[in-house]
Structure 1
Amino acid sequence: MNFTDIRPRPRTVTVTVAGVLQLLFALAFLIAPVAGLVYGADVQAAAEAELVRQGLSPSLLAENNLHFDEGGYALVLPGTTALIAVTLAWLNLAGRRAGRILTLIFQPLFLALDVFILTSQMSQTQYLQSILGEGVDAQAILDVSDRVYPAWLLAVSDARLIVTPVVSLVVIVLLVLPSARAYFRK
């Protein structure tokens, strides 16, 4: 056998699309923490000012361990998720069978995480209200906080909530298609 005649198999469209979608998924998961790093202090100040406007102590947020500024542990989950997604995309685009197998393990977990995040976002007012108590207008705090962010960022964040679960489903489907299975066979 002449080893100079061995050529890499051409990557299938399904694997290429799945890998690119995983990279976009990773990018989407970094939107919230980056926004929190950039705008978090201003959002925190706006939320505290709203508490003062409501006649409450601005320290009420800190006393209940509520922070709008991203930092520390708040960066771990999205950062780790993005890192795993990039690693999986690289493995898949490189034609590594482990990438496909790990994607079929992790992408459903990402889907579950997305559903949890979507559910959390839909109930954030009730959650904040339950923590801060009856005397606080939680919706007003969230509204004033949202006004600090640029409108485009809120639109992108809202779209992310819908797009990332769909991306997870599409990646899973693409990698179970016969063309992808055949590509990863040795």
Structure 2
Amino acid sequence: MNAVAALQLLIALAFLSIPVVRSRYGAGAQAAVEAELGRQGVRTSVMAENGMRLDAGGHETWAPVGIAVALVLPAVLALAGNAWSGTLSWVVQPLVILVNCVILYSNLTAVPSVTAAFARSEDAELRRIDVRAMLRAAEDGFPDWVMPYLQNLRHVVVFAGSIAVLVLLVAH
């Protein structure tokens, strides 16, 4: 079960990379978005006014930290030799796969989903935004190694690690 625990800790670290990167580089990405909005003739404060931010605030912190904690718990139990680690892993690991599927889907459909959300907004400024250009500016505001490299590595670690955990649990 030490291999299961090691994989769960690795997956937890992958999730923790999200708020760490956003904390370190989110302000630069936010500035890049605001510059793009200015270029589009949209008031640069519109994102903040509507509660949208690129730093590690809100769900960009509590969600990945919560997932990491959910992974660390069975890992610690496994390392302590507690039999509940396997049962808890059978609950947590499929949920982690499902959550990461939602994250991946969100990443892949960002332009149309954000465009649709902005179109439904009562804020006329949001409806005017060229979402593709805005999201490109946000991505460009992060170091080149973040997207797509770190993002894709995180998905590989989460999916492959989770599948490996389930295979090891079956074999045990």
Given the two structures, how large is their TM-score scaled by the length of structure 1? 0.82
Following superposition, the deviation at residue 159 of structure 1 comes to 1.8
Contact kept, 8 Å, 1:60 with 1:132, in 2: the verdict is no
Q: Distance in 2 between matches of 1:109 and 1:84?
A: 10
Is residue 132 of structure 2 the alignment partner of residue 139 of structure 1?
A: yes
Residue in 2 aligned with 1:58? 44
What letter matches 1:139 in structure 2? R
Residue in 2 aligned with 1:76? 62
- 19-28 or 66-75: bigger deviation: 66-75
What is the aligned-residue RMSD (CA, Å)?
1.5
Question: Of 135, 138, 157, which residue of structure 2 is paired with 1:163?
Answer: 157
Residue in 1 aligned with 2:170? 176
Is residue 111 of structure 2 the alignment partner of residue 118 of structure 1?
A: no
Question: Of 91, 96, 112, which residue of structure 2 is paired with 1:105?
Answer: 91
- 120-129 or 154-163: bigger deviation: 154-163
Q: Distance in 2 between matches of 1:111 and 1:105?
A: 11
Residue in 2 aligned with 1:49? 35
Matches within 5 A, 1:2-17: 15-17=1-3
Query: Which of the pair has more CA radius of gyration?
Result: 1
Following superposition, the deviation at residue 174 of structure 1 comes to 0.5
What letter matches 1:60 in structure 2? V
Residue in 1 aligned with 2:122? none
Please give the per-residue CA displacement for 1:61-113, whole angstroms capped at 9, x wherever unaligned.
Answer: 12332111121343111111111211211111222110111001111111110
Q: Secondary structure at the match of 1:48?
A: helix
What letter matches 2:107 in structure 1? Q
What letter matches 2:82 in structure 1? R
Q: Distance in 2 between matches of 1:161 and 1:42?
A: 24
Q: Which runs of 4+ in 1 moved over 3 A?
A: none
Structure 1's unaligned 5+ residue stretches are 1-14, 181-186
Q: Distance in 2 between matches of 1:84 and 1:157?
A: 21
Q: Percent identity?
A: 36
Given the two structures, how large is their TM-score scaled by the length of structure 2? 0.88
How many correspondences in the alignment? 164
